């Protein structure tokens, strides 16, 4: 095997239902850049199901981090990464078949510091659409502070640049993704590089939060939603993220 060019890091808390499809999608995307140039690292977090076994059977390297902090979980995987390019994707999501190829093209052009991806849910309803608009309105002040809308869903950049900005901020219990995007964009601006968005192969992510809570939950529970969006409320984050499944 030649030098690993890509390291794809996947945080996973009881993801037996999804991890197989996530890893299979990475395998398909790897064909466009050479399969032996991609490693997958699954960071198992407090798993009590078959997540670890499934990941290992599909060739992933499995690490363990039991923190209730998604930033720390992702950072654990990236610290162990051998690739010069790192990608973070959630276990319930499937990257597009040209995602790694598009990342390679953008980074090798020298025009991009890194970025995120367009995404779509595996199902869409009127309630989900209204909820998404409500979330967007709540996050508008943060987005304005960070210089506008920055795509997320699946982050990608060179490992040296991930390290240069300090990775994900482990003091944040939520909203670590928006913070990471803002700091990566700032680094790019210093170098006259752009924060990019993958568009050819959008990410497909599960609608499980809506399946678990209901399509209108975030609107019906506006106080909880606002607490989640402070990035610092442990009880709210546990209720919506860390203590499920």
| pLDDT tens-digit series, residues 125-180 | 999 999 999 988 888 787 777 777 799 999 999 999 999 999 999 999 999 999 99
pLDDT of residue 136: 87
The count of structural domains within the chain is 1
Q: Residue 102 maps to which CATH number?
A: 3.90.550.10
**In the predicted model, is pLDDT for residue 113 greater than 50?**
yes
Q: Would you say residue 74 lies in a domain?
A: yes
Task: Assess if residue 213 is contained within a domain.
Answer: no
Is residue 145 assigned to a domain? no
Assess if residue 31 is contained within a domain.
yes
Q: Specify whether the CB–CB gap between 138 and 229 falls below 8 A.
A: yes
Q: What number is the average pLDDT over the span 85-110?
A: 97
The pTM assigned to this predicted structure is: 0.93
Q: Is residue 1 over pLDDT 50?
A: no
Task: Check whether 114 has a pLDDT greater than 60.
Answer: yes
What's the pLDDT score for residue 123? 95
- For the chain, percent of residues with pLDDT exceeding 70: 98
138, part of any domain: no
In a domain, 235, yes or no: no
- Antiparallel, parallel or unpaired: β 61-64 and 38-44: parallel
Q: Find the domain containing 103 and state its range.
A: 6-123+151-203
Question: What's the mean per-residue pLDDT of the chain?
Answer: 93
Average pLDDT over residues 47-74: 97
The predicted-structure confidence for 183-241, as pLDDT tens digits, reads as follows: 999 999 999 999 999 999 899 999 999 999 999 999 999 999 889 888 898 998 888 88
Residue 230 located in a structural domain: no
- Residue 243's pLDDT is what? 80
Q: Is the pLDDT score of 4 beyond 90?
A: no
Query: pLDDT: is 54 or 146 the higher one?
Result: 54
How many CA atoms does the CB half-sphere of 144 hold within 13 Å? Answer: 6
Q: What is the pLDDT of residue 3?
A: 65
Q: Decide if 92 is inside a domain.
A: yes
């Amino acid at each position: 095997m030649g030098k690993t060019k890509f390291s794809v890091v996947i945080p996973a808390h009881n993801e037996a239902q999804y991890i197989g499809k996530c890893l299979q999608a990475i395998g398909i995307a790897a064909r466009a850049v050479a399969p032996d140039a991609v490693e997958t690292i699954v960071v198992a977090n407090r798993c009590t199901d078959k997540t670890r076994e499934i990941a290992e059977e599909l060739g992933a390297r499995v690490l363990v981090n039991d923190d209730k902090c998604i930033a720390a979980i992702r950072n654990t995987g990236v610290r162990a990464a051998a690739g010069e390019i790192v990608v973070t994707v959630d276990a319930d999501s499937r990257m597009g078949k040209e995602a790694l190829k598009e990342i390679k093209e953008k980074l090798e052009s020298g025009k991009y510091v890194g970025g995120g991806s367009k995404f779509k849910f595996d199902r869409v309803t009127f309630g989900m659409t209204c909820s998404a608009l409500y979330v967007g309105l709540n996050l508008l002040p943060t987005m304005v502070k960070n210089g506008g809308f920055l795509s997320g869903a699946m982050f990608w950049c060179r490992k040296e640049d991930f390290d240069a900005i300090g990775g994900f901020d482990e003091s944040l219990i939520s909203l670590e993704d928006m913070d990471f995007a803002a700091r990566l964009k700032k680094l790019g601006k210093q170098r006259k590089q752009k924060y990019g968005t993958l568009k050819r192969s959008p990410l497909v992510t599960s609608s499980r939060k809506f399946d678990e809570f209901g399509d209108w939950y975030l609107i019906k529970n506006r106080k909880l939603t606002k607490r989640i969006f402070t990035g610092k409320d442990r009880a709210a984050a546990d209720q919506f993220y860390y203590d499920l499944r």
